[in-house]
Amino acid sequence: MHYADIIVDISHENLDKSYQYSIPEEFREEAIIGALVIVPFGKGNRFIKGYIVDISETAKWKVELIKPIHQIVPNGLVIESQLISLAYWIKETFGATMNDALKTVIPVKKSVKSIEKKTIRLAISAEEAGNYLEVFKKKNNKGRVRLLEAFFSDSDEQPQAIEELDYELAVNKLNIARTTIQDLEKIGIITTKVERLYRNPLSNRETEYESILLSKEQKFIADEIIRDYKAGFRKTYLIHGVTGSGKTEVYLEIISSVIKQGKKVIMLIPEIALTYQTVMRFYKRFGSRISIMNSRLSQGERYDQFMRAKNGDIDIMIGPRSALFTPFKDLGLIIMDEEHESSYKSENPPKYHAREVAIKRGELSGASIILGSATPSLESYKKALQGEYKLFTLPSRNGEGRMPKIWIEDLREELKKKNKSIFSLHLKELIQDRLNKKEQIILFINRRGYAGFVSCRSCGFVMKCPHCDVSLTAHNNGTLICHYCGHEESMPSKCPSCGSKYIAAFGTGTQKVEEMVKKEFPEARVLRMDTDTTKTKDGHEKILSAFANQEADILVGTQMIVKGHDFPMVTLVGILAADLSLYASDYRAAERTYQLLVQAAGRAGRGRLPGEVVIQTYQPEHYSISAASNNDYDGFYKQEMNYRDLLKYPPAAHILAILIASKDENKAIFAAKLLGGAAKEWAETEQITEDTIIIGPAAAVLSKANDIYRYMIYVKQSDYKYLILLKNYLEGYINFSEHFEMCNVQFDFNPMNSY
């Protein structure tokens, strides 16, 4: 016998509960995950709608109490069905529970109650109501009395009723039962009304037609994709366009064509990357038929935006990765801007990557996918080169902008010149020059992934793990630890490469840079942008607009300033320590460094004035730095791909990260060792030991958080499906063994962030 887990009346019920029904033999074929069904429910066996979310052969409930599915609605593959199948795919692919997957895919109405305003009104005159009130008082109908009295203002003899009463208030504060309100409604004394308050982040605006002239390259790409689309092809495209090449114009052109064909569009953007300028461009072109979500939106507000989409009130949804689940009925296109961004990977379960999910949704809904980036992820570029995605390039800047001139300054040379300041002589000179010319400067500190690595100030040598080729992390007790394999060694007193004693843990903060700038250039007006100064609600926006209005000469900040902002008066970008992010202890360090450098350099010379970029580094010879300075993505890709191939890091192979966390350190270590052993045994029984690399267990980079100890195991395998099998196997193992009671184990496929 087959059984189906069914969620009833999705939009209302909370998704924690599913009910199991048996599948009659004649429905076996049609009963697929996502199907819309009719089932008998409750004591009266009244028929209600539901969706199949899972199918199994075991009954989780008393078999004699399981009812059969009454009917499977034909062509019931409505939008909810699509999203449920998507949830199931996410569950299978990224290893999560069906519940978690469903919750991310379908917005729950529960939290929406505050947005959906339900009110109670009197259906009769105040006078009549007064009469009823007297009757109820005599009969001692406390609930009814409380409800009616609420309509009259305090101790006023004259029956002067207030117009409406908040439903929530009546139920919670006045303690009136749902049934009481229903009864009164039946008698005809009151009526209830639901009002949905939609809120639109920006108010309606006239659509000014801004006709954009596309460059030849832009037009070529837009035309190709539009032609494919009209011919009925649904593909995945990768647009590799240098910073400032005008990818947005290409998107706009394609979007308007897709909308003209009656289809809807989802545009994904990385968190906080959406600037006011971009929003306005979309509004100007598409007016109020777009909706914008941001990560600050409450669940209720998000639900609201989704309902507008479902009702067909909008054509375009713009937002972070959760916008991917917008319930558009006829989705035609998903655009993913800055596809390399790590915020597209969810950090809590289900730990899905929006790129993979977008492609799957495209497949289910019949939509094309466009990925865009100035610095594509290796994953995407590899697929593009293999022909799985169609690749387009925009090699030059659009309009007035020219690619900036890039200088590399070797910081080891500066030390030889006895320049101990954080600015190279050349950078100082250029800063002074821009201050004189009243042009603007951005100073960028690369703090990404910084985790106390140890480097030599004299030769730039960095202490690395002999087994994993990631940098070692300095701990307070004077040892250096590799967070991939657990290798340990003691802190050297002099540099193993050149013998200099200038070897130490490294780091520079934004405040320190700000101080140094003020000391060196007392006349400059400086703005600082980091997590400290952007804590307030629109601190972010304030600093950026102040800088855009030229209220400051120099903007000092971390990676948050490199995201797609357009400051035409910026003609100099200084990257103070380009290699800092190279030594993050994870395999994506070089890729991230390349991305940061290119994006940061991309801020210079976006207006009429030509720009210059100074990259300061201890490692000018490193390929990620030299490639970034020459804008040589292909060169970078080849080198980095070599490294990944050699060490079997993604996309050369797939990696499963297993986090074992426990309050008790010994239990965490013990559990981690058990899991490591189980993984090894599993690989042996599957006969894939040659192709499976198990690393660890070792302490995580964040080895202890909130008094919880964290250990990691990494498993590398070229075939993704084996990693899923392994995860299922280990989950079974954990359930079976009693050594995991005090432990929390989490799985992450192809992680983007280090643990």
Q: Which residues bind DNA (CB under 7 A)?
A: 12, 17, 19-21, 40-46, 60-61, 65-67, 136, 138-145, 175-180, 183
Smaller CB separation from DNA, 33 or 318: 33
Smaller CB separation from DNA, 99 or 141: 141
Smaller CB separation from DNA, 35 or 357: 35
Please list, residue by residue across 9-31, b when 16 or more beta carbons sit within 10 angstroms of its beta carbon and e when fewer do: ebeebebeebbbbbbeeebeebb
Smaller CB separation from DNA, 60 or 416: 60
Cα angle, residue 125 at apex, residues 124 and 127 outer, rounded to 5°:
125
Smaller CB separation from DNA, 61 or 502: 61
Least distance in Å: CB of 177 to DNA? Answer: 3
Smaller CB separation from DNA, 60 or 199: 60
Q: Scanning the structure block, which residue is given the tokens 């250029």?
A: 430
Least distance in Å: CB of 443 to DNA? Answer: 57
How far is 488 from 111, CA to CA, in rounded Å? 49
Least distance in Å: CB of 162 to DNA? Answer: 20
Q: DSSP H helical segments within 292-333, as ranges? A: 299-310
Looking at the DSSP bridge assignments, the partners of residue 659 are 712, 746
DSSP state letters, 501-555: S-EEE----HHHHHHHHHHH-TT--EEEESTTTT-STTHHHHHHHHHHTTS-SEE
The backbone torsions φ and ψ at residue 431, rounded to the nearest 5 degrees and listed phi first, read -60, -45
Q: DSSP H helical segments within 245-377, as ranges? A: 247-260, 276-286, 299-310, 354-365
Half-sphere exposure for 3 (CA within 13 Å, toward CB): 17
Least distance in Å: CB of 210 to DNA? Answer: 47
Smaller CB separation from DNA, 144 or 710: 144
Smaller CB separation from DNA, 149 or 621: 149
Least distance in Å: CB of 56 to DNA? Answer: 12
Q: Scanning the structure block, which residue is given the tokens 């496929």?
A: 749
> How far are the Cα atoms of 158, 371, 683, 753 from residue 377, in angstroms, in the given order?
73, 10, 30, 14
Q: Which residues contact 744 (CB under 8 A, 6 or more apart)?
A: 659, 660, 661, 662
- Which one, of 117, 112, 114, 90, lies nearest residue 302 by Cα? 112
Please list, residue by residue across 434-443, b when 16 or more beta carbons sit within 10 angstroms of its beta carbon and e when fewer do: bbeeebbbbb
Least distance in Å: CB of 129 to DNA? Answer: 15
Helix, coil or strand: residue 169: helix
Least distance in Å: CB of 136 to DNA? Answer: 7
Half-sphere exposure for 418 (CA within 13 Å, toward CB): 0
DSSP state letters, 670-704: HHHHHHHHHHHHHHHHHT-GGGEEEEEEEEEEEEE
Smaller CB separation from DNA, 116 or 439: 116
468 has binding-site annotation: yes
Least distance in Å: CB of 60 to DNA? Answer: 6
SS (H, E, C) 738-753: CCCCCEEEEEEECCCC
Smaller CB separation from DNA, 20 or 510: 20
Least distance in Å: CB of 308 to DNA? Answer: 22
Centre a 10 Å sphere on the Cβ of residue 186 and count the other Cβ atoms it contains: 9
Residue 344's identity, in one-letter code, is Y
Q: Scanning the structure block, which residue is given the tokens 């992820």?
A: 377
Q: How far from the centroid of its chain's Cα atoms is residue 480's Cα?
A: 32
Least distance in Å: CB of 313 to DNA? Answer: 24
Centre a 10 Å sphere on the Cβ of residue 201 and count the other Cβ atoms it contains: 12
743 has binding-site annotation: no
Least distance in Å: CB of 62 to DNA? Answer: 8
Contact 521, 432 (CB under 8 A): yes
Smaller CB separation from DNA, 132 or 722: 132
Ranges of beta strands (E only) in 136-235 are 164-166, 190-196
Smaller CB separation from DNA, 41 or 633: 41
Least distance in Å: CB of 140 to DNA? Answer: 4
As annotated, the binding site includes 456, 459, 465, 468, 482, 485, 495, 498
As annotated, the binding site for Zn(2+) includes 456, 459, 465, 468, 482, 485, 495, 498
